[in-house]
């Protein structure tokens, strides 16, 4: 049995969106398209009945032709939402004027007919709304402008300086974040490998531990589980933080930290020293940006592995560098 939650919102009559629940036998549906059509027969709702309709399924951006086996490999829960919740007008149908209007930035380099073709090319629209940057900054020029700009340069290298100037603005390419882990089966997405800890001498029973992965594989969660801790799975664990965009990096890091705090994490594990320099050293500034106290200790993967292997020397662990005290280590 599949438990389905369908996003519902009519901009003409509803003040707030809500979710409507359905249950179908797993064997009765194979693709998202099958699910949408089956729901529509029970309750008519807003979507386009074709296999190239784009939506979010369990927070993955994809088309309705996607196989349920790819989305439900370890669960029977399916949440269906529009590409952009804030731009929803009729259930899964959205207003795409923002996507279309930003194409005007390229008016000097593409014709009207080319622009119309681009609007019909849904792969660009999928990448535009899948951008995590857009979630935090409505003025971001968009993944489609970045990708199209690069395509223009490939066709005519003499336009390189012009395109770079167009893209290199405060709301431009400096804010770009990866689409890996956001679009289902995005190119170059790698298979996961499992990490394990050796010489385990310390456990973390009764601890709740969250993990920020960025673009790294999330297999380090196996190490956390191996430590006997409760693993806190963050929806934001794959945020690709543009470190050179200070305000945006604080907003993204703050969202990750607060999700960990709100899910009762005792501390957050990070990839490396680069992440540490943001999440620990800048945590007070992040608190001001978010308007909330955070005070969440962080450790790098290497520090956590050293602890599991019995290391207790604070100097070797690098704990004196921490601005946010790690209370269980004194």
**Ranges of each domain in the chain:** 2-94, 97-175, 208-329
Instruction: Give the pLDDT score at 198.
Output: 52
Confidence of residue 330 (pLDDT cuts 50, 70, 90): low
- Distance of alpha carbon 213 from the chain centroid: 11
Give whole-number Cα distances, 81 to 36, 65, 190, 195, 301, in Å. Answer: 11, 15, 25, 33, 34
The fold adopted by the segment(s) 2-94 is Ubiquitin-like (UB roll) (3.10.20)
Exposure of 328 in the CB half-sphere (CA atoms within 13 A): 16
Give whole-number Cα distances, 97 to 11, 100, 113, in Å. Answer: 15, 5, 17
The model's pLDDT over 218-272, given as tens digits with 9 standing for 90+, comes to 678 888 998 999 999 999 999 999 888 889 999 999 999 999 999 999 999 998 8
The model's pLDDT over 32-45, given as tens digits with 9 standing for 90+, comes to 999 999 999 999 99
pTM over 0.75? The answer is no
The model's pLDDT over 249-259, given as tens digits with 9 standing for 90+, comes to 999 999 999 99
Q: With respect to CATH, is domain 208-329 assigned 3.40.50.11810?
A: yes
User: Residue 188 pLDDT > 70, yes or no?
Assistant: no
Do the domains at 2-94 and 208-329 have one common CATH topology?
no
Instruction: Give the pLDDT score at 194.
Output: 39
């Amino acid at each position: 049995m599949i438990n389905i939650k369908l996003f519902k919102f009519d901009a003409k009559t509803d003040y707030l969106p809500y979710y409507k629940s359905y249950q179908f036998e797993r064997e009765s549906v194979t693709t998202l398209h099958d699910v949408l059509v089956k729901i529509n027969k029970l309750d008519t709702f807003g979507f386009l009945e074709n296999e190239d309709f784009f939506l979010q399924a369990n927070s993955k951006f994809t088309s309705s032709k996607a196989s349920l086996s790819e989305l439900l490999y370890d669960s029977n829960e399916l949440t269906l939402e529009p590409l952009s919740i804030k731009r929803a007008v009729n259930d899964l149908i959205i207003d795409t004027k923002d996507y279309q209007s930003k194409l005007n930035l390229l008016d000097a380099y593409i014709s009207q007919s080319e622009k119309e073709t681009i609007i019909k090319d849904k792969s660009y629209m999928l990448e535009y709304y899948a951008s995590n940057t857009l979630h935090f900054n409505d003025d971001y020029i968009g993944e489609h402008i970045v990708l199209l700009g690069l395509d223009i340069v490939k066709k005519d290298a003499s336009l390189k300086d012009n395109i770079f100037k167009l893209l290199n603005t405060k709301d431009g390419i400096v804010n770009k974040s990866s689409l890996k882990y956001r679009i289902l089966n995005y190119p170059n997405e790698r298979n996961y490998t499992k990490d394990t800890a050796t010489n385990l001498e310390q456990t973390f029973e009764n601890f709740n531990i969250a993990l920020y992965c960025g673009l790294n594989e999330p297999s380090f969660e196996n190490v956390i589980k191996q430590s006997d801790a409760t693993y806190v799975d963050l929806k934001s664990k794959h945020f690709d933080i543009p470190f050179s965009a200070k305000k945006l990096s604080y907003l993204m890091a703050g969202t990750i930290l607060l999700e960990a705090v709100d899910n009762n994490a005792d501390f957050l594990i990070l990839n490396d020293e680069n992440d540490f320099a943001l999440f620990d050293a800048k945590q007070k500034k992040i608190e001001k940006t978010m308007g909330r106290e955070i005070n969440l200790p962080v450790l790098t993967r290497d520090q956590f592995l050293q602890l599991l292997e019995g290391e207790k020397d604070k100097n070797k662990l690098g704990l004196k560098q921490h601005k946010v005290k790690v209370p269980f280590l004194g």
